[in-house]
Structure 1
Amino acid sequence: MLRILLTTFLFYTVSGRQGFGPTDQEWGYSNVRTGSYIFWWLHYTTADVSNPTERPLIIWLQGGPGASSTGYGNFAELGPLDLELKPRNTTWVQWANVLFVDNPVGSGFSYIDESGSYAENNTQIAKDFLVFLKDFYKKLPQFDGVPLYIFCESYGGKMTPDIAAFIYRAQQNGEINTNLRGIGLGDGWVSSIEIVEAYADYCLNLGLIDDDGYNAIQGIAEQVKPALDNGEFVKAFNLWGDVTAEIEEKTYNVDFYNVLLRQAASTKKMGLYRSNLGDALDDIMNGQVAAALNLTSKWQDVNYSVYNALLYDFMKPVTSVVEDLLDNSNVFVAVYNGQLDLIINTPGTANWINRLNFEGKSSWDQSKRIPFNINGYMEGYVRKNDKFAFYWVNNAGHMVPSDNPSAMEYILKDVTNNFKV
């Protein structure tokens, strides 16, 4: 079966350490539960400012679950260096402070010891993250009150709404000195059923399958909702695996992340995580990065123990959490999706958005979808009101930051009000 991975700052001076790469940095571990440790790696912005705190703090979270933000997100998508260790001219660090977090516990350089345990649900992930974030602000209090945004990808889109809800409540209760302004859910696994229900139509409309393929894929996909409705979440997960395996067979190995990419017919994929860069990343992370940051824990591109611990929770939607954020917080919620992404396809994402029920729904329903153009090219479309936005991204698959960095820059600027503090 195909495996699926889906204030005031006058008294502070910022002088980060020299880590790995061209930026000033900080990094460390946070003990979030007994025997359970989260690793984080901050790159201070290189923007032309007198103090980095004049720009927002953006947290990046990878998916999987169990994939590494400090590895894949950093070097393959948006960090200061690319996989060839050359400067990336589209890095987010040029605009904001970027904090990569290996989340949940066990991902990347994060780890558990003999007394620790992996998270088994979104609630535990959010609790762990809040403990980490409190520790981060204790170590780097200069970020107190600096606008905070969380952007993510794939299964990160499932984890982030709960994380944001926990942070916002703690912020309101005075438990933490954050200033959470918004979240960006990129090709996010927010509601599985709409994604699964759209697979067959998406493939058929693109000419990836014929009617026989459609019927085979749809026949399995239609079994997922009854399993979810009956609370048979592991069964639903296994059925999803069957659906993706059927897609792989009927399309003769289409790239789940970007349907226009060419690849060998024998290529195998990992669903919610592109794994073909694992060896290159392993050499970088367990070699030069570990040495430069003086780390002794072994980095993993995907930790399947993290993944397996979440099987029962995997298919559960978090749309109710998104609705709660829209109704009961001032956190701006942005959703963006690459048009060429199959594994978390745009039609399915649009469907769960259309099914949301929140106080601002009438305003959202009346808003218009308009194109956004960059340097004379139409890079996508956006529809938004004062609390919520959806960006359809052209010329991008699952990894929008690397597939269409121009569109990603537009989204970042739009969500963060051009990185203002």
Structure 2
Amino acid sequence: MLKLFFLVPLLLISVPVFLPLFHGGLAFGAGTKDGSEKWGYVEVRPKAHMFWWFYKSPYRVKDHSKQWPTILWLQGGPGASGVGIGNFQEIGPLDTDLKPRNSTWLRLADLLFVDNPVGTGFSFVEDKAQLVKTDEEAATDLTTLLKELFNGDQNLQKSPLYIVAESYGGKFAVTLALSALKAIEAGELKLKLGGVALGDTWISPEDFVFSWGPLLKDLSRLDNNGFEKSNSLAQQIKQQLETGRYVDATNTWSELEDVIIYSSNNVDFYNFLLDSANDPLSTTATELSTSVALKRYSTYLNSKRFSPDSNGDIGSLMDGFIKQKLQIIPESLKWGGQAGLVFTTLEGDFMKPRINEVAELLAKGVNVTVYSGQVDLICATKGTEAWVEKLKWEGLQSFLSLDRTPLYCGNDKTTTKGFTKSYKNLHFYWVLLAGHFVPVEQPCVALKILSDLTHSSVASA
């Protein structure tokens, strides 16, 4: 069993110390007096400002022969806030009640949260024309941010960086990894890339939409009529993708989700064992849209909270207490106020696959870890397995031929928590009884995966 990790909550109300500008004058930062936290803005392009928040782990090893890792967490959406959701609702030191999280990933690594793309969370653009339209543009911005943070910091340069992503963040992760590698090879970025982890990620939208109908039919959430409607729309999406009609494919995806919700009587897209009507996230078919999807994404996590007396309003937390703590957020900026625009601006890239980028990373020798929650629907394991089988990578057949190894957690060596298998630099984890948010629903297994990824041991509290 995981021991409770106590981080002094007073850190959150410490008066920040304002740090010097990073080289180039593009980054502005602040932090706590003890140096355990730093945060700030990087102007990644004129009028485009990206917010970051760095936590130094109190469990850093004193043996300097061991390289202590840094995790860059990339949220999904697109338009969901890593600084808010990933930090306070999933893996950061404190939850949304500002209480210590016993399963914080600080036990294994330093943590870097980024509100990506610009317009997400506390990141913002002064002109809507500066919002990114493609995953590659987002990767370029993130690479600019990494240059500002790493090139002038020798301590960060010694720490291998692992890019860990969830949901749509997976598409950002693989494009960023390739962009960063290019910058490293060119001598423009001083960074050690340790690997990439893709957790329930939207790498191949086509494979996911084709998984929904058969999966829900087998689970009795769809009848033949619902299955046929679902499959028909999935086929339409496939044709639209093949002919390059990507915005049409995004619109059809939204229509397909409407059909799934109606035909299944509101199955939860983040856990197919649940009804979304029993979740604060509940939406009707007519309400579902790209902008509503962001609300669904965050609010689902509120139902997983351990403090029943909490109001669970992360928006109020971020715009209130956290904004006051950080002291550098523009007064007029509302947390996530541009998120809907971020989603809409990326509608032409939303349904594009990134399978080839994963294969390219594997071919370059980058460690790629894939993990998938058993009861996730939006990025169902069935769809994840389908895109993995499409990888144009020399080790694929050897990987597929391997048997899986059961996963256990902690001192319990009898309860199966999942399965895993690895071949060379590809690693896959099947996580039982977890939905879309594995770090929340199976935190012990998530730490096990992270330990395997970073070759670090979980620190005891």
Q: Same fold (TM over 0.5)?
A: yes
Which runs of structure 2 are paired with 1:260-409 in the superposition (5 Å)?
Answer: 260-264=273-277, 267-268=282-283, 270-271=292-293, 274-276=297-299, 277=302, 280-294=313-327, 295-296=329-330, 297-300=333-336, 303-327=339-363, 329-374=364-409, 375-376=412-413, 377-409=415-447
Match of 1:245 among 255, 258, 283: 258
- The answer for the alignment partner of 2:145 in structure 1 is 132
- How far apart in 1 are the matches of 2:43 and 2:119? 12
- The answer for the alignment partner of 1:6 in structure 2 is none
- The answer for the alignment partner of 1:100 in structure 2 is 113
Match of 1:17 among 9, 23, 31: 31
For normalisation by structure 2, the TM-score amounts to 0.83
Amino acid at match of 2:32: Q
Would the aligned equivalents of 1:75 and 1:83 in 2 still touch at CA under 8 Å? yes
Match of 1:89 among 77, 102, 106: 102
Amino acid at match of 1:315: M
2:37 is the alignment partner of 1:37: no
- The answer for the alignment partner of 1:50 in structure 2 is 62
2:244 is the alignment partner of 1:221: no
SS state of the match for residue 365, structure 2? Answer: coil
Identity among equivalent positions (%) equals: 37
- How far apart in 1 are the matches of 2:389 and 2:81? 31
Consecutive unaligned residues of structure 1, counting only runs of 5 or more, are 1-15
SS state of the match for residue 300, structure 1? Answer: coil
* Post-superposition offset of 1:419: 5.8
* Post-superposition offset of 1:279: 6.9
- The answer for the alignment partner of 2:204 in structure 1 is 191
Would the aligned equivalents of 2:108 and 2:450 in 1 still touch at CA under 8 Å? no
- The answer for the alignment partner of 2:12 in structure 1 is none
- How far apart in 2 are the matches of 1:217 and 1:114? 39
Amino acid at match of 1:112: V
Would the aligned equivalents of 1:282 and 1:301 in 2 still touch at CA under 8 Å? no
Alignment size in residue pairs: 402
* Post-superposition offset of 1:158: 1.1
Amino acid at match of 1:396: A
- How far apart in 2 are the matches of 1:170 and 1:106? 24
The Cα offsets for residues 183-237 of structure 1, whole Å up to 9 and x where unpaired, read as 1111101011110111101111112122222122222222111111011111111
* Post-superposition offset of 1:35: 0.6
Would the aligned equivalents of 1:145 and 1:177 in 2 still touch at CA under 8 Å? no
- The answer for the alignment partner of 1:212 in structure 2 is 225
Amino acid at match of 1:274: Y
SS state of the match for residue 187, structure 1? Answer: strand
- The answer for the alignment partner of 2:165 in structure 1 is 152
The Cα offsets for residues 113-163 of structure 1, whole Å up to 9 and x where unpaired, read as 138610100111111111000001145331113111010100001111010
Amino acid at match of 1:180: L
C-alpha change, 1:311 and 1:145, in structure 2 (3 Å) is same
* Post-superposition offset of 1:275: 3.5
- The answer for the alignment partner of 1:4 in structure 2 is none
Q: Displaced runs of 4+ in structure 1, greater than 4 A?
A: 51-54, 269-273
Which sits farther off after the overlay, 50-59 or 238-247?
Answer: 50-59
Would the aligned equivalents of 2:80 and 2:298 in 1 still touch at CA under 8 Å? no
- The answer for the alignment partner of 2:214 in structure 1 is 201
* Post-superposition offset of 1:262: 4.8
SS state of the match for residue 261, structure 1? Answer: strand
Would the aligned equivalents of 2:54 and 2:111 in 1 still touch at CA under 8 Å? yes
- The answer for the alignment partner of 2:75 in structure 1 is 62
SS state of the match for residue 184, structure 1? Answer: strand
- The answer for the alignment partner of 2:9 in structure 1 is none
